[in-house]
Copies of this chain bind each other. A is one copy, B any other.
């Protein structure tokens, strides 16, 4: 699934002093050039960078490359040149670039930026990166509600480039946001029409401190192209556009996937710091390792049963494995439904009840399959013990797997975060206890 537009840049950049590289770069989009940076050696990155002639394109490339590459390039390019390039792009993109740099570099760059730009960047840096304020653009088309369509069109013709130039936001005389008009509506009404007569007043807005997950939900549910950010007096601060929200949605999806496997989102494979990756994963795996030692201790308590019947050991993996799988499925369903916001009112309860019923059916079937196998290859008593164990384990796994993320969500902990290690280790411990206790009771 590699992309020819990106591959050709990569291939050309690997050969030093290649004149074809310059020609290709000139025809390439900034996004493709940025994608080509990933996984290339530093020398090749430098060749690509030096082949970009258009300064604005160069700045856009900086805005699109990954954090680690950005730091590398900023060090190579030097702060003076960077400050110049940042002045060529939108303030919010410049802010995004600056926010990814180490603090000392940030200070150096800010100190040589122009007064106006610096103040705006500093204002934006004050909002957390994952809040509505951190996502918003500052340049918004605004008009007074008493103006006419003609006034608005005149204003449009004289305004510099703005980010989302398809909507015109309308404020009243106290500068409160009161409505929105699409460019299309401006064109299809007589020039003397007052904006307040044709504006849409039923606006969806957010406050700057709203988190990015909620922003993504609003944009996706109401199919918005842009979402105005207002302060608590309903004054327009900025605008979040749908393209930034797409990035948020992909980030959230990645984060959930990584969290469920016990890694955090910074586990970026393009990040070459193997030792850092190891550290992050080790911490989480250590929990399960300690859980594993707990299990060894627990199994040790049943050493008598094991010495009397060594075949019992053989079924440990299948009991634990099936319990773990059913638990993970239940947790995934819960996390997914929390993420899509499908759980309101009694939703959690019906979800749990449904999962308990599916779990019972699964438990019964496994008891039947595994029980028959043991019956025909081992003893009837062992068959009963193992059937009972897997049945109870699977049902408990289904309920626990769903209950843990639902509970975490209720107490405002990210449900995906803790789902992996705790559910798995918890279910394993419960399963071992159920298995050996059942065996001890049933097999004399």
Contact = CB atoms under 8 A, between A and B. Distances in A.
Contacts of A157: 187-188
Contacts of A345: 2, 7, 10-11, 39
Centre residue among A3, A38, A313 by max chain B CB count within 10 A? A313
Nearest to A374: B296
A370 to B, nearest CB: 7
A354 interface: yes
A370 B286 CA distance: 10
Contact of A269 (B10, B38, B293, B351): B351
A197 interface: no
B332 A288 contact: no
B307 A362 contact: no
Given A246-B246, A258-B336, A358-B278, A1 B343 contact: yes
A444 interface: no
Contacts of A362: 278, 281-282, 285
Centre residue among A261, A270, A285, A322 by max chain B CB count within 10 A? A261
A230 interface: no
Q: How large is the interface on A (under 10, 10 to 19, 20 to 34, 35 or more residues)?
A: 35 or more
A15 interface: no
B332 A263 contact: yes
A232 interface: no
Contacts of A6: 344
A260 B257 contact: yes
Contacts of A320: 317, 320-321
A210 interface: no
Centre residue among A186, A188, A310 by max chain B CB count within 10 A? A310
| Copies of this chain assembled into the complex | 2
Q: Tell me whether chain A's interface is mostly helix, strand or loop, or mixed.
A: helix
Contacts of A343: 1-2
B321 A428 contact: yes
Contact of A256 (B3, B35, B257, B288): B257
Contact of A313 (B261, B263, B299): B299
A366 B187 contact: no
Interface string A152-168: 01001100000001100
Interface of A: 1-3, 6-7, 10-11, 29, 31-32, 35, 38-39, 153, 156-157, 165-166, 182-184, 186-188, 219-225, 242-243, 245-247, 249-250, 252-254, 256-258, 260-263, 267, 269-270, 272, 274-275, 277-278, 281-282, 285-286, 288-289, 291-293, 295-297, 299-300, 303, 306-307, 310-322, 324-326, 328-329, 331-333, 335-338, 340-347, 350-351, 354-355, 357-358, 361-362, 365-366, 369-370, 373, 409, 420-421, 424-425, 428, 432
**Nearest 8 A/B pairs, CB to CB:** A292-B318, A253-B253, A2-B344, A313-B313, A223-B243, A296-B314, A299-B314, A261-B332
Given A256-B257, A303-B311, 16 more contacts: A3-B344, A35-B221, A220-B246, A223-B243, A242-B242, A254-B340, A257-B336, A263-B329, A269-B355, A277-B358, A281-B326, A292-B318, A292-B370, A293-B370, A321-B428, A325-B421
16 contacts: A1-B409, A3-B341, A11-B345, A32-B221, A166-B184, A186-B187, A225-B225, A254-B336, A258-B336, A263-B329, A269-B351, A274-B357, A289-B370, A296-B314, A306-B306, A325-B424
